[in-house]
Copies of this chain bind each other. A is one copy, B any other.
Amino acid sequence: MDKALVLLSGGQDSCTCLYWAKKVFSEVEGICFDYGQRHKVELDAARIIAEKASVKLSKIPINSFKALGNNSLTGEAEVSSKLGDNQLPNTFVPGRNLIFLFYAAAFAYEKNIVNLVGGMNQTDYSGYPDCRNNTLLAMELAINLGMDKEFHIHAPLMYKTKKDIWALAHELGCLDVVKEISHSCYNGVRGGCGECQACTLRLKGLRDFEESIKSRRET
């Protein structure tokens, strides 16, 4: 029962989680989702990260989001960091992380894996309500009742700042992989556009982490 399935989007958080899971569990697999995202390059990043970590990665196609309504991650609208009428950025796909978790659980079900690991985080996040810990607790309950299994959802980054997440990558020895290969940019610019919300959070965290390392060395 010491196997885990990591939701590997290819971004900073999930990449760090993969290395965390490799340390905690004896067997690790990854799962990623091809949902028509504008920043599809993250899937290439996920593939390379999994290869480097010697982890099997399965890709689940999801063609449903477009039919559900408009949002800038899968639709035509431009990515914007301004909040919409619902007080959320227009990159919000309602329930996206919930749906990913359900697919991950259904996939894990068939393989008898009960540990699901994801980079959900309610500190330096984009305000998505499906990243919050309470949501995950309710999800765990819904999945466990609905599938008659006892899954555990692990979100080791839940209360970490982006700076802390960079520090964790450093600790886990995967700082270079995260820095050079993981992809966060919502606009799909390899290396980052530097302007979207995902890039801004990532860069600020890295700068803060590097400064803290530097000031530690200086003192």
Contacts and interface: CB of A to CB of B under 8 A. Distances in A.
Interface stretch (A95-103, A167-175, A192-200): A95-103
Name the residue in A64, A111, A130 with the highest tally of chain B Cβ atoms < 10 Å from its Cβ: A64
A141 B143 contact: no
A106 interface: yes
A124 to B, nearest CB: 19
Interface stretch (A144-152, A157-165, A183-191): A144-152
Interface in A131-154: 132, 134-135, 138-139, 141-143, 145-148
Number of identical protomers: 2
Given A64-B60, A138-B138, A141-B141, A99 B95 contact: no
Interface residues of A, number: 41
Contacts of A60: 64, 67-68
Contacts of A109: 69, 94-95
Q: Chain A binding site: helix, strand, loop or mixed by DSSP?
A: helix
A146 B141 contact: no
A126 interface: no
Nearest to A149: B94
Interface in A75-104: 86, 88, 93-95, 97-99, 102-103
Nearest to A133: B145
A70 interface: yes
A129 B146 contact: yes
Given A68-B110, A69-B107, 6 more contacts: A58-B67, A64-B64, A97-B146, A134-B145, A139-B142, A141-B141
Contact of A142 (B62, B64, B141): B141
A130 B141 CA distance: 12
Nearest to A86: B148
A88 B110 CA distance: 13
